[in-house]
Structure 1
Amino acid sequence: MNAQRPPSPEVDDPTLEADVFARNCTSRPVLQNVASRWGTLAMVALREGPYRFSALRRRVEGVSERMLSQTLQHLERDGLVHREVHETIPPRVEYTLTDLGIQVADQLEALIKVLETNLPRIQAAQAAYHRE
């Protein structure tokens, strides 16, 4: 027998504003999924267009099959990635970004470009830190 839990005012009140700094903000898990190493790389790769699972795994070097599968499931649940099953033999599955996913991936790519452009400065800072 399942007892129903009472609605949580922090989660169920639509008048509350999202505040990622608040402990119970429901945006925190989404941020965690997007800002994870594999979430970020998968989303930015999907900016290039639809990918089948195996091709996306090759594009995002180093990710395990299990981790990519979990990452894509979380991003799909959050409304950032769309999974489409094509009824062929064998079945073919493609992943694409949703409109919201495109917005998020654009911002992630901008962040990546800032980091890549400033990599010499970052490496110099890291070297200086380790010398101290």
Structure 2
Amino acid sequence: MAVLILAVFLILIRIAPKSIQPFLLKSARAWTAGLFCFFAGIHRGASFYAPEGPPLSDLLIFLSLHFGGLGLALLPPRMAWRIAPACMLLMLAGDVFLARQGRLPRFFLRFRALQLLTATTLIVLLGSTSGTHET
């Protein structure tokens, strides 16, 4: 559901009056940044299932995703919209790798891939819209 909010933002930006579009894009960028923190929490929660306990790498991934989300919120819009899709794809690659190792639930191989590819596509579309509206 959290990823679908990006689609709602995309639709709203396309139908909203021009005066509201910059606000909607800023909100969409803040939501995107929040998604990284949300996904970090999911990753951290999944790491608790490791029989020997969560390895240090899980804590580092968790913190990286949180700081990545914060960075997206603080970066200039143009840069944030360019970096966010790449970060989503890196997260996807990492999740698939960890799921294949058995460090994340197996459903991450399919569900998470679909979720993150959808988010990446919507972020690319929002980023292409932001070039003419957000400052």
Bigger CA radius of gyration: 1
Structure with greater proportional strand content = 1
Structure with greater proportional helix content = 2
* Fold in common (TM above 0.5): no
The structure showing larger relative contact order (alpha-carbon pairs under 8 Å, at least 6 residues apart) is: 2
TM-score, normalised to structure 2, is 0.28
